[in-house]
Every structure is written in C-alpha cells, then in structure tokens.
Structure 1
C-alpha cells in the first residue's frame, strides 16, 4: 500500500471524563482529547439543503479512508474527526475496504439545523 494516497492530516478526538460531578451527581467536564493523528484520504460529497421544521438544514457528507491498525479499529460514532479545519461526526461503524484488512473507511457528516 503506497503512502502517497493518504494526503490529509486527520485528528481523531474522543471524549474524556474528568471525573467532576455537578450537585446532582451528573458527570460534567467532558473534554475532547486527541486520540490519534493518522493521515487519510478524504472525499467530500456535495452538500444537501432542505427545509426541516421550518428551518434550513444543510448537511455535508464524506468518506475517509485510512490505514487500518488496532487503535483506529476502536473508533466509534461517539468519537469525532477534524479534517481541513472542520469537525465531522462519524456516522456508523468503520468498515474494511479490502480483503487484507489493511484499509478502513468511515462515513462522515457535518452541518445540520441552524439555530
């Protein structure tokens, strides 16, 4: 597998619990922390605008392919990705794109209802 096809710097972040609780015992202080900084191949698809509940909702989607290794295989939809200065939500579970399990693909989404 050639490294030249992974041109984008990717930041995968995961929420970390600081252990702090509010007056009712609910966790507070969840912070996004760096989980991994791999390189990837990102392909953004055209955004879609639609009206939902009287508000303009614009979403963009994309796919991100990276080399598969044990740490990346633990990434879930609870994590997030930063590419090209924008945060993307991971939609669904990662899939392997080849029989050799050397490459992993994520479906990403950003945008939504404008407040």
Structure 2
C-alpha cells in the first residue's frame, strides 16, 4: 500500500490500571500509547451508518491502516486518538481481502464521553 494513501497519523492506546490510592483505595484507569500508525480515517456515509444501526452497531467511522506485526495486535479493547478526538474500536480489525497482510480496517464509533475529558 502506498504511503500517500494513508495521510493521517493515528495513535492507538490501551487501558492499564494506575497505582492504587493509599487513602481511598481508588485504582485509576490510565490510557497508554500502544502505537502510532499511518492511516486514513473517514466518516461513514449516511447509508453505511444506517446499515450499521440495523445490526445494532454504533459505528460512525472507518480507519484503514497498514498491516504490521504491531498492528495485528490491535483489538476492540483499545481506542484510537485522532485530531484530539477519541474513537472506540468496534470489533476486531478486518484484514484486506487479498492477502490479509496489506492493511487492516478498524470500524470506529464515538468514544466514551469520559475519554474526551481525560486529556
């Protein structure tokens, strides 16, 4: 896949537990960078959004990234950060139809409202 077709710098993050507060016992959730990858993030068309809703999916965007051994470890427990906005990965990445080793497609939905305040 040509690099010009993937113009966006995308950050993938995963969730970890922080240190427990000794007074309250609260264990904070910390998002840690997993990888920065080149990709192309696009909003879904109205037609595609309606089709997603028909199968009870809240998917609103799609992101295509280059396949790599690191990218192959991305899963639906992670999130995407792009232009200051967080996106939830809706299901596991989908490999390309040819070899399965060229690119992965991440189906995305709006991130949790608490994520938008965590920066």
Please confirm whether the aligned pair reaches a TM-score higher than 0.5, indicating the same fold. Answer: yes
Cα root mean square deviation, aligned: 2.6
Give the count of matched residue pairs.
102
For residues 66-105 of structure 1, the aligned pairs below 5 Å read 66-100=65-99, 101-105=101-105
Structure with a larger share of its residues in helix: 2
**Equivalent position of 2:4 in the other structure:** 4
Larger Cα-atom Rg: 1
Q: Give SS of 1:28's match.
A: coil
CA 30–102 in structure 1, closer or farther in 2 if over 3 Å, else same: same
Taking structure 1 as the reference length, what is the TM-score of the superposition?
Answer: 0.74
Give 5+ residue unaligned stretches, structure 2: 50-57, 114-119
Structure with a larger share of its residues in strand: 1
Give 5+ residue unaligned stretches, structure 1: 49-58
Report the alpha carbon displacement of residue 29 of structure 1 after superposing the two structures with TM: 2.2
**Equivalent position of 1:34 in the other structure:** 33
| Distance in 2 separating the partners of 1:23 and 1:15 | 23
Deviation string 1:15-61 (CA, Å, 9 cap, x unpaired) is: 12235377897x7122001110001011112577xxxxxxxxxx771
Could you list the structure 1 runs, at least 4 aligned residues long, displaced by more than 6 angstroms after superposition. Answer: 21-25
| Distance in 2 separating the partners of 1:108 and 1:22 | 37
| Distance in 2 separating the partners of 1:2 and 1:112 | 33
| Distance in 2 separating the partners of 1:22 and 1:78 | 28
Taking structure 2 as the reference length, what is the TM-score of the superposition?
Answer: 0.72
